[in-house]
Amino acid sequence: MSVKTAQPLSEKKAERKRRGKIGGSWKHDFLMNKWLYILTIPVVAFFLIFNYLPMAGLLMAFENYKPALGLFKSQWVGLQNFKDFFMGPSFWTILRNTMVISLLNLAIAFPLSIIFALLLNEMNVLWVKKLTQTVSYMPYFISIVVLCGLVTEFCSSRGFITNLMVSVFHIPRENLLTNPDYFWAINLISDIWQNLGYSSIIFVAAITSVNQDYHEAAALDGANRFQRVWHVTIPSIMSTIVTMLILKCGTLLNVGFEKILLLYNPSIYSTADVISSHVQRLGIGQAQYGYATAVGLFNSVVGTVLLFLSNHISRKYAETSIV
Amino acid sequence: MIERNTPSRIVFNIINYTLMIGFGLACFIPFWHVLMCSISDPRLLMGNSGLVLWPLGKPTLEGYKLVLKNPDIWSGYLNTIIYVVATAVAGTVLTALAGYLVSRKNFKLAKPLALFIMFTMIFSGGTIPLYMVVRSLGMLNSRWSIIIPTLMNAYYVIMMKSAFEQISPAYEEAARIDGAGPLTILFKVLLPMVMPTLVVIIMFTVIMQWNSWYQASIYLPRTRDMWPLQLFMREVLINNDTSRIVTSGNEANAMVNMTGNLVKYCVTVVGTAPILLAYPFAQKYFVKGVTMGGVKE
Task: pLDDT band for A10, please (50, 70, 90 cuts).
Answer: low
The total number of structural domains that make up chain B: 2
Q: For residue A74, is it within any domain?
A: no
Residue B14: domain span: 1-60
Q: For residue A62, is it within any domain?
A: no
Q: Which residues face A63 on adjacent strands?
A: A76
B80 and B6 fall within a common domain: no
Three-state secondary-structure class, residue A74: coil
A206 and A142 fall within a common domain: yes
A211 and A265 fall within a common domain: yes
The total number of structural domains that make up chain A: 2
Residue A15 has pLDDT above 80, yes or no: no
Does A132 contact B23 at a Cβ distance shorter than 8 Å? Answer: yes
A289 and A234 fall within a common domain: yes
Does A40 contact B101 at a Cβ distance shorter than 8 Å? Answer: yes
Of the candidates A55, A72, A99, which is a domain's last residue? A55
Interface A–B counts its CB contacts (< 8 A) at 241
B77 and B41 fall within a common domain: no
Nearest C-alpha neighbor of B76 from the set B234, B219, B218, B207: B234
All residues of chain A having their beta carbon less than 8 Å from the beta carbon of residue B284 are none
* A176 CB-side CA count, 13 A: 22
B284 and B254 fall within a common domain: yes
Distances (CA, A) of A184 to A98, A126, A165, A189, A303: 10, 36, 15, 9, 22
All residues of chain A having their beta carbon less than 8 Å from the beta carbon of residue B286 are 137
CA distance B52 to B36: 6
Q: Could you tell me the CATH number of the domain that includes residue A238?
A: 1.10.3720.10
Length of chain A measured in residues: 323
B101 and B131 fall within a common domain: yes
Tens of pLDDT along chain B (297 residues) come to 455 678 888 899 999 999 999 999 999 999 999 999 999 988 888 888 888 888 888 898 988 998 998 899 999 999 999 999 999 999 999 999 999 999 988 888 999 999 999 999 888 888 899 999 999 999 999 999 999 999 999 999 999 998 999 888 888 889 889 888 888 888 888 999 998 889 989 998 999 999 999 999 999 998 999 999 999 999 999 888 887 777 655 556 667 777 888 999 999 999 999 988 888 777 877 777 777 754 443
Residue A146 has pLDDT above 90, yes or no: yes
DSSP string for B123-191: ----HHHHHHHHHHTT-TTSTHHHHGGGS--HHHHHHHHHHHHTS-HHHHHHHHHTT--HHHIIIIIIG
A137 and A236 fall within a common domain: yes
A162 and A280 fall within a common domain: yes
| CA geometry: angle B273, B275, B276, nearest 5 deg | 65
All residues of chain B having their beta carbon less than 8 Å from the beta carbon of residue A304 are 122-123
Rounded average pLDDT over A235-250 = 85
Q: How many angstroms separate the CA of residue B54 from the nearest CA in chain A?
A: 15
Cβ(A253)–Cβ(A278) under 8 Å?
no
pLDDT digit string (tens) for A49-83? 999 999 999 999 999 999 888 888 889 999 999 99
Note the pLDDT of residue A272.
92
> Considering only alpha carbons, which residue of chain B is nearest residue A191?
B27
Residue A132 has pLDDT above 90, yes or no: yes
Burial group, residue A99, by CB count within 10 angstroms (0-12, 13-18, 19+): middle
Does A50 contact B28 at a Cβ distance shorter than 8 Å? Answer: no
> Considering only alpha carbons, which residue of chain A is nearest residue B134?
A50
Does B128 contact A152 at a Cβ distance shorter than 8 Å? Answer: no
Q: For residue A263, is it within any domain?
A: yes
A213 and A171 fall within a common domain: yes
Residue A18 has pLDDT above 90, yes or no: no
Task: pLDDT band for A14, please (50, 70, 90 cuts).
Answer: low
Does A42 contact B97 at a Cβ distance shorter than 8 Å? Answer: yes
B130 and B206 fall within a common domain: yes
Q: How many angstroms separate the CA of residue B117 from the nearest CA in chain A?
A: 7
Among B51, B105, B115, B128, the strongest candidate for a mutation testing the A interface, having the largest count of A CBs within 10 A, is: B128
CA distance A45 to B113: 12
| CA geometry: angle A95, A98, A103, nearest 5 deg | 120
Does B17 contact A24 at a Cβ distance shorter than 8 Å? Answer: no
Does B128 contact A205 at a Cβ distance shorter than 8 Å? Answer: no
> Considering only alpha carbons, which residue of chain A is nearest residue B233?
A145
B113 and B153 fall within a common domain: yes
Q: Could you tell me the CATH number of the domain that includes residue B171?
A: 1.10.3720.10
Q: Which residues face A75 on adjacent strands?
A: A64
Residue A225: domain span: 83-317
Note the pLDDT of residue B25.
96
* Separation of CA A118 from chain center: 23
Note the pLDDT of residue A3.
40
Nearest C-alpha neighbor of A94 from the set A317, A216, A285, A273: A273
**Helix B7-38 vs helix A144-154: crossing angle, to nearest 10:** 90
B16 and B65 fall within a common domain: no
Distances (CA, A) of B283 to A62, A139, B5, B23, B277: 47, 13, 33, 19, 11
Burial group, residue B187, by CB count within 10 angstroms (0-12, 13-18, 19+): middle
Stretch (H or E) spanning B224: none
A46 and A100 fall within a common domain: no
Q: How many angstroms separate the CA of residue B268 from the nearest CA in chain A?
A: 7
A87 and A41 fall within a common domain: no
| CA geometry: angle B276, B152, B170, nearest 5 deg | 100
Does A145 contact B213 at a Cβ distance shorter than 8 Å? Answer: yes
Residue A241 has pLDDT above 70, yes or no: yes
Considering only the beta carbons, identify the residue of A46, A53, A150 that sits closest to B30.
Answer: A150
B30 and B79 fall within a common domain: no
Q: How many angstroms separate the CA of residue A141 from the nearest CA in chain B?
A: 7
Main-chain phi, psi angles of A64, to 5 degrees? -90, 80
Main-chain phi, psi angles of A143, to 5 degrees? -75, 160
Of the candidates B15, B32, B60, which is a domain's last residue? B60
B20 and B140 fall within a common domain: no
Q: How far is the first Cα of chain A from the last one, in angstroms, to the nearest whole number?
A: 56
Three-state secondary-structure class, residue A211: coil
> Considering only alpha carbons, which residue of chain A is nearest residue B112?
A44
Q: For residue A147, is it within any domain?
A: yes
A104 and A242 fall within a common domain: yes
B109 and B46 fall within a common domain: no
All residues of chain A having their beta carbon less than 8 Å from the beta carbon of residue B136 are 67, 70
DSSP A24: -
B96 and B181 fall within a common domain: yes
Cβ(A255)–Cβ(A276) under 8 Å?
yes
B16 and B125 fall within a common domain: no
Rounded average pLDDT over A299-309 = 88
Three-state secondary-structure class, residue A155: coil
How crowded is residue B120: how many other Cβ atoms within 10 Å of its Cβ? 20
Beta strands A63-64 and A75-76 are antiparallel
CA distance B76 to B84: 12
A14 and A101 fall within a common domain: no
Of the candidates A36, A55, A74, which is a domain's last residue? A55
Residue A4 has pLDDT above 50, yes or no: no
Better-predicted residue by pLDDT, A45 or B45 = A45
* A2 CB-side CA count, 13 A: 0
pLDDT digit string (tens) for A153-197? 999 988 899 999 999 999 999 999 999 999 999 999 999 999 999
Share of chain A above pLDDT 90, in %: 57
Rounded average pLDDT over A220-232 = 87
A21 and A108 fall within a common domain: no
* Separation of CA B103 from chain center: 28
A44 and A87 fall within a common domain: no
Does B94 contact A198 at a Cβ distance shorter than 8 Å? Answer: no
